[in-house]
């Protein structure tokens, strides 16, 4: 950064990643606003949302945006109003970047519902770069002793999975069903198991079913198969609306189904008596709050939650996104800064 410039990936023309939608460009090192930190990126997880930003599935909020919202880095500078951080501190940058702090949702602790919220790597440049910025109030402090690459996927996949687990209202020692077993689910399962839950996994992939059993799930079967016992809670991670009635039928009386994804295909009509009656509940999960992040990162450190990771050099971000798109790996890709 001697000359004040850096290299960063930029979404120059949203479209298929194989066709050059992302380009590695030279940009000025960002100048943090009065309440922001400048962060030197060490590692950045690759989330499916990055693919949606690069390919134009999500509307463009900032031309030429730099994706990436699972950033592990170190503080390299700060605006004049920032207190409590020092140069060299390790911090995490997650999806929720800013809220208005003043609406009725923010006032009642539901800042994930803030209509004026902004997101990293979509509204503002994210972590596919040598440097990024984050409002200090939204930076996460990270547990010591865990490598950068292992922490990165916790910052989106982990936090979202954790909010979904809390929204599913699992009672202590309860029976939890997970529909789909990718990045979020395999982290959420580790917390649930550490807290004494019995976990049943319903998913298509044989490798994912194997991983579920290795992590301690009581059973693993096909996505549409019935778990071996009724469930107190279930989480739908697969974006397949046709699984909603399947999961609702698997619930015990009074059970809760939480839908974790931003996107879900249409649900078929629900049968009231078998799928909703006896006080079954269907809930959605929208983004997450800073408190969700703090709670999850604390529990992840306490329980030794580990992501299955696939490191790529940051200079090969397009290859990582293309491999994610093609399903060429299980677990989470993480970009390691080889540019500086």
Cβ proximity to Zn ion: between 105 and 197 the closer is 105
**How far apart are the C-alpha atoms of 73 and 78, rounded to whole Å?**
14
**How far apart are the C-alpha atoms of 53 and 192, rounded to whole Å?**
31
Is residue 243 within the footprint of Zn ion (CB under 5 A)?
Answer: no
Is residue 335 within the footprint of Zn ion (CB under 5 A)?
Answer: no
Following DSSP, what letter does each residue of 262-295 receive, concatenated? Answer: S--PPPPPP-IIIIITTT-EEEE--S--HHHHHH
Q: Which of 10, 21, 66, 99 binds Zn ion (CB under 5 A)?
A: 99
Cβ proximity to Zn ion: between 197 and 336 the closer is 336
Residue with tokens 């930029």: 10
Select from 89, 8, 91, 71 the least CA-distant residue to 339. 8
Cβ proximity to Zn ion: between 137 and 270 the closer is 137
Is 340 within 8 Å of 1 (Cβ atoms)?
A: yes
Site for Zn ion in 127-146 (CB under 5 A): none
Is 126 within 8 Å of 314 (Cβ atoms)?
A: no
Is residue 337 within the footprint of Zn ion (CB under 5 A)?
Answer: no
Structure tokens at 27: 């940009």
Is residue 106 within the footprint of Zn ion (CB under 5 A)?
Answer: yes
Among 25-33, 71-79, 105-113, 325-333, the segment contacting Zn ion (CB under 5 A): 105-113
Among 28-36, 53-61, 114-122, 126-134, the segment contacting Zn ion (CB under 5 A): 114-122
Is residue 114 within the footprint of Zn ion (CB under 5 A)?
Answer: yes
Q: Which of 75, 76, 134, 156 binds Zn ion (CB under 5 A)?
A: 156
Is 34 within 8 Å of 140 (Cβ atoms)?
A: no
Cα Rg, the chain, nearest whole Å: 20
Min separation Cβ 156 and Zn ion, Å:
3
Among 6-14, 113-121, 184-192, 316-324, the segment contacting Zn ion (CB under 5 A): 113-121
Site for Zn ion in 12-51 (CB under 5 A): 47, 49
The number of residues that bind Zn ion (CB under 5 A) is: 8
Residues sharing a CB contact under 8 Å with residue 264, sequence separation 6 or more, in sequence order: 236, 239, 240, 241, 244
Min separation Cβ 159 and Zn ion, Å:
9
Is 300 within 8 Å of 293 (Cβ atoms)?
A: no
Is residue 152 within the footprint of Zn ion (CB under 5 A)?
Answer: no
Read off φ and ψ for residue 303, nearest 5 degrees.
-90, -5
Is residue 100 within the footprint of Zn ion (CB under 5 A)?
Answer: yes
Among 57-65, 108-116, 146-154, 233-241, the segment contacting Zn ion (CB under 5 A): 108-116
Positions touching Zn ion (CB under 5 A) are 47, 49, 99-100, 103, 106, 114, 156
């Amino acid at each position: 950064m001697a000359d004040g410039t850096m290299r960063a990936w930029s979404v120059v023309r949203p479209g298929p990643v194989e066709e050059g939608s992302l380009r590695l460009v030279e940009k000025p090192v960002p100048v943090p606003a009065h309440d922001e930190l400048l962060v030197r990126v060490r590692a950045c997880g690759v989330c499916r949302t990055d693919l949606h930003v690069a390919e134009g599935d999500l509307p463009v909020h900032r031309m030429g945006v730099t994706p990436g919202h699972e950033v592990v880095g170190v503080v390299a500078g700060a605006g004049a109003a920032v207190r409590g951080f020092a140069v060299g501190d390790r911090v995490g940058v997650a999806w929720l970047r800013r809220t208005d702090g003043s609406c009725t949702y923010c006032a009642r602790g539901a800042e994930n519902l803030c209509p004026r919220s902004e997101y990293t790597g979509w509204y503002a440049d994210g972590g596919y770069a040598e440097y990024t910025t984050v409002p200090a109030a939204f930076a996460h402090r990270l547990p010591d002793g865990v490598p950068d690459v292992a922490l990165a996927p916790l910052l989106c996949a982990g936090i979202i999975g954790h909010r979904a687990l809390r929204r599913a209202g699992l009672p202590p020692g309860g029976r939890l069903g997970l529909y789909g077993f990718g990045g979020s689910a395999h982290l959420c399962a580790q917390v649930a198991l550490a807290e004494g839950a019995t976990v049943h996994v319903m998913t298509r992939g044989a490798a994912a079913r194997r991983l579920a059993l290795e992590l301690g799930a009581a059973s693993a079967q096909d996505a549409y198969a019935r778990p071996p016992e009724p469930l107190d809670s279930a989480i739908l991670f697969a974006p397949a609306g046709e699984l909603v009635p399947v999961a609702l039928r698997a619930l015990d009386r009074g059970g809760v189904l939480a839908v974790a994804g931003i996107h879900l295909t249409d649900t078929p009509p629900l049968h009231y008596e078998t799928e909703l009656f006896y006080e079954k509940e269907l809930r959605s999960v929208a983004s997450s709050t800073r408190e969700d992040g703090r709670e999850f990162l604390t529990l992840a450190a306490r329980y030794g939650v580990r992501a299955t990771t696939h490191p790529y050099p940051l200079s090969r971000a397009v290859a990582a996104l293309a491999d994610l798109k093609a399903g060429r790996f299980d677990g989470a890709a993480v970009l390691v800064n080889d540019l500086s």
